[in-house]
A = this chain, B = another copy of it.
Amino acid sequence: MSLADLPRTIEWIGELDGFVRMIDQTKLPESLEFIDCRDVSTMWHAIKRLSVRGAPAIGIAAAMGAVLAVRDETVSADGLLVKLEDACRYLASSRPTAVNLTWALERMKRVAHAPARENAKAICIRLLNAAKQIRDEDEAACRAIGKYGLPLINDGARILTHCNAGSLATAYYGTALAPIYAAHELGRRVTVFADETRPLLQGARLTAWELQSAGVDVRVLCDGAAASLMQRRQVDLVITGADRIAANGDTANKIGTYGLALLAKAHGIPFYVAAPSSTFDLAIPDGSAIPIEQRDPGEVGIGFGRSTVPEGVPCLNPAFDVTPGNLIAGIVTEIAVVTPVNRETIAKQLNPLQFSR
C-alpha cells in the first residue's frame, strides 16, 4: 500500500441528494470503516465524538454538514438562510478550539448570501459546490505545505510528531506529515517518532496507521518518553499541526504540544508547526483568548471500558494547550513558512485571504 491508496478522509458522494462519507477514525487501527452522514445531527455527533477530527478535516465536515442541514429546504431562500444560520451555530458548538470549523461555516454563510437573489435549490447547489471547494482547496493547501516544508526534511531525518496532523486530519496528505510525505516521495529516508498522544491515542492509532500505509518508517512512543529520546540525540526536529493560531503566533494544538516545544527548546531542536492559513485567527492578539475544550474525564479515566482511575477521583482532560509563538521556529503554511521575522508581512497576505474566502 502506498499513500495513493489511502482512502480520502471525507468526501461528498453523489449529487445534492447524496451524503458525506468519512473514515470512522474511532475504529482505527483495528478496522477501516466508514461512517455515512445524511443529516446534520449525525455529522454533529461524528465531530463531537471524533469520528472525524483534525482542524482542517472538521472544517470540511462542518461545511458539508451545513449542506445536509439545508438541502431539503425548498420553500424560500429566506427560510434557507435562517435554517443555515441555525445549522452553523449548532455545528460550531461541536468543538470550540479549532478555528477552521468556524472559518468554514462563516465562509458557507457568505456563499449563501452572495451574489443575487436565487431560489433555495440554487443556493443549496452553490453551498454544496462551496463545501466541495473547501475540501479541494484543503488538499491543495496540504500539498503546498508539503512543498514549503520539504527543505526541513533532509535525507535521514528523524522527526518527532504529536497527535495526528496527517492525511486523516485533513482532506488528504496532511499538514505536519505533508513535508514528510513529500520527502518520502523523493526517496529521502525519514524516521518518524509518533507520540501516542493520550488520552485518545491519535498518534498511536492514526499517525502510525497512515505512515505505515504510506511506507514511511514510524515508531510509537509514550508521550513521556519524548524527552529521553531528545536527550539521546535521536530527534532532529519536531513538527506538529495546529488548531488555532493567534496573530502573534501563539498556537493551540493537542494537549502535550506545549510541553514538547519546551523540551525541544531545552535540547536545541527546532520546533515547527504546519497548518493551512485557515488556522490563523488574526482577530485574537495572542493565545490567551483561545478557548480550550475540556473533554469528558472518562477519556482519561476509562480505557477500553475498564477503569484506570479509582472511582471518585477527578480527572483533568483539557484537549489542547497553547504554545507561545516564540517557541516556534516556523509555521509552515500553503503560502510560506511563517517565522517570527516575516510574520507581520505574511499576516498582511493572510488577512485578505481569510476574509475574501
A306: CB under 8 A from chain B? yes
Whether the Cβ atoms of A221 and B303 lie closer than 8 Å is no
Question: Given A196-B198, A201-B308, A300-B220, is A258 in contact with B228 using a C-beta cutoff of 8 Å?
Answer: yes
A314: CB under 8 A from chain B? yes
Majority-rule SS of A interface residues: mixed
A224: CB under 8 A from chain B? yes
A2: CB under 8 A from chain B? no
Whether the Cβ atoms of A313 and B224 lie closer than 8 Å is no
A222: CB under 8 A from chain B? yes
Chain B, Cβ-Cβ closest to A254: B224
Which residues of B are found within 8 Å of A309, using beta-carbon distances?
Answer: 29, 196, 204-205, 208, 220
A229: CB under 8 A from chain B? yes
Shortest distance between the CB of A28 and any CB in chain B (Å): 8
Whether the Cβ atoms of B196 and A229 lie closer than 8 Å is no
Q: Mark A239-261, 1 if CB is under 8 A from B, else 0.
A: 00000000000000011101100
Whether the Cβ atoms of B314 and A220 lie closer than 8 Å is yes
Whether the Cβ atoms of A262 and B224 lie closer than 8 Å is no
A312: CB under 8 A from chain B? yes
Question: Given A225-B316, A228-B318, A321-B225, is A307 in contact with B29 using a C-beta cutoff of 8 Å?
Answer: yes
